[in-house]
Amino acid sequence: MDQQFWDDMYSGSAQRFSGLPNDALVTEVTGMTPGQALDLGCGEGADAYWLAEHGWRVTAVDISQVALDRAAAGHPEIAWQRADITVTPLPARSFDLVSAHYFPIAHESDHATLRGLLETVAPGGTLLFVTHDPTEFPPREENSHDFDPYDFYQPSEIVALLGDEWTVEVEDRRDRNRPAAGHQIKDLVLRARRAG
């Protein structure tokens, strides 16, 4: 899932997604005091727009330049950045909210990419990590994309790597109000706060 993969996906249509913010973002972030937010895997920008409209100062990161070019149009108030976090770490302890929706992080023996992501959360800040429930996918041998969601970190695995300075506030399996492409209809939602 490199830059070419995602550029090709976004190039395949004028608009890939609904343009609406993700349900879990709205549910979990509404009522928080705005600060610096990182929208990781921002895609076409719907979550970044919502955050900015609610007072957050947003850095929106994606590996796809096609997605970023589309998202950035008319939204100069958001800092748009193309990055591959497996190669280039993001600033440490810089964000009051780190939001990663459906952002695939492949398993690594040293957990370097995931640990780098956790390190971006500022003291007192929140990690919001949302993924499709892997039980909603057909087995690898039955799908056409040779995709296995268990190749990627799930919220429970992230919880296991959190240190004592973290408090898990939400770990939930819930329905999506807007089903994703295909048949995935459940999400796994993790919200954790780093001690101040």
d(CA 139, CA 148): 7
Handedness of CA 52, 34, 61, 186 (dihedral sign): negative
pLDDT over 70 (residue 180): no
Residue 121 has a pLDDT of 98
Query: What is the fold, at CATH topology level, of the domain defined by 3-12+23-194?
Result: Rossmann fold (3.40.50)
Distance CA 178, CA 167 (A): 29
Q: pLDDT class for 144, splitting at 50, 70, 90?
A: low
Query: Which residue, 108, 102, 116, 106, is CA-closest to 39?
Result: 102
With 0-12 / 13-18 / 19 or more C-beta atoms within 10 angstroms meaning exposed / middle / buried, residue 165 is: exposed
pLDDT at position 76 is: 87
Choice between 58 and 132, residue whose per-residue pLDDT is larger: 58
Confidence band of 74 (pLDDT split at 50, 70, 90): confident
- Comparing 43 with 128, the larger pLDDT belongs to 128
Percent of the chain past pLDDT 70, that is, above it, reads 81
pLDDT band per the 50, 70, 90 thresholds, residue 136 = confident
Per-residue buried b or exposed e for 166-190, using 16+ beta carbons within 10 Å of the residue's own CB: beeebeeeeebeeeeeeebeebbbb
